[in-house]
């Protein structure tokens, strides 16, 4: 296991629809604590039910190494975005709306600790728009520096 993965104890998943609940299930099955965030309590309840049914089917087929209840205990649903502040890795799987995603990334930038990786799951936005995404990476200022500086790295996708 790489040193970065070894440092991850809790994964945040933003959005509990089809993709979000699937990502949360895989992460919890892999042994991570998972905070599943959605603005809708009803959607979170549906997601947990979907995950529970899926885990039961996997268990019946002998494809789970532990009980479905053990996996479910690693899932924590939340409607409070600030709860993601305790995560070391966050995967965004929110609705396919550019403005919502941009606001979400701005909010996450204020909530998350420096160095937390934010990944995005999108099926259409990058195909339909010319998008600039700023990725912040900790870059040591010098080899003697005790602290790191944050430097934006701009990545541009051009779809012709």
Q: Give this prediction's pTM.
A: 0.78
**b (16+ CB within 10 A) / e for 105-127:** beebeebbeeebebebbeeeeee
Of residues 88 and 6, more confidently modeled: 88
Residues 138, 114: contact at Cβ < 8 Å? yes
Is the confidence at residue 2, as pLDDT, over 80?
Answer: no
Q: Is residue 136 part of a domain?
A: no
pLDDT of residue 84: 98
CATH of the domain at 98: 3.40.50.720
Domain count of the fold of the chain: 1
Q: Does residue 142 form part of some domain?
A: no
Give me the domain span that covers residue 54.
3-123
Query: Does residue 149 sit within a domain?
Result: no
Strands 131-140 and 148-157 turn out to be antiparallel
* Average of per-residue pLDDT values in the chain: 81
Give the range with max mean pLDDT: 34-38, 106-110, 114-118, 142-146. Answer: 34-38
pLDDT of residue 81: 98
Residue 56 clears pLDDT 90, i.e. is over it: yes
């Amino acid at each position: 296991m790489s040193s970065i993965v070894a440092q991850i104890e809790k994964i945040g998943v933003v959005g509990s629809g089809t993709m979000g609940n699937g990502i949360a299930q895989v992460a919890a099955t892999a042994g991570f604590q998972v905070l599943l965030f959605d603005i809708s309590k009803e959607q979170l309840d549906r997601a947990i039910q979907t995950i529970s049914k899926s885990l039961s089917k996997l268990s019946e087929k002998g494809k789970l190494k532990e009980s479905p209840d053990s996996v479910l205990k690693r899932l924590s649903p939340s409607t409070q975005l600030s709860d993601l502040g305790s995560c070391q890795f966050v995967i965004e799987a929110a609705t396919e709306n550019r403005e919502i995603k941009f606001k979400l990334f701005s909010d996450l930038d204020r909530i998350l600790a420096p160095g937390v990786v934010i990944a995005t799951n999108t099926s259409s936005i990058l195909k339909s728009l010319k998008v600039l995404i700023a990725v912040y990476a900790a870059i040591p200022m010098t080899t003697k520096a005790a602290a790191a500086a944050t430097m934006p790295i701009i990545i541009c996708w051009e779809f012709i």
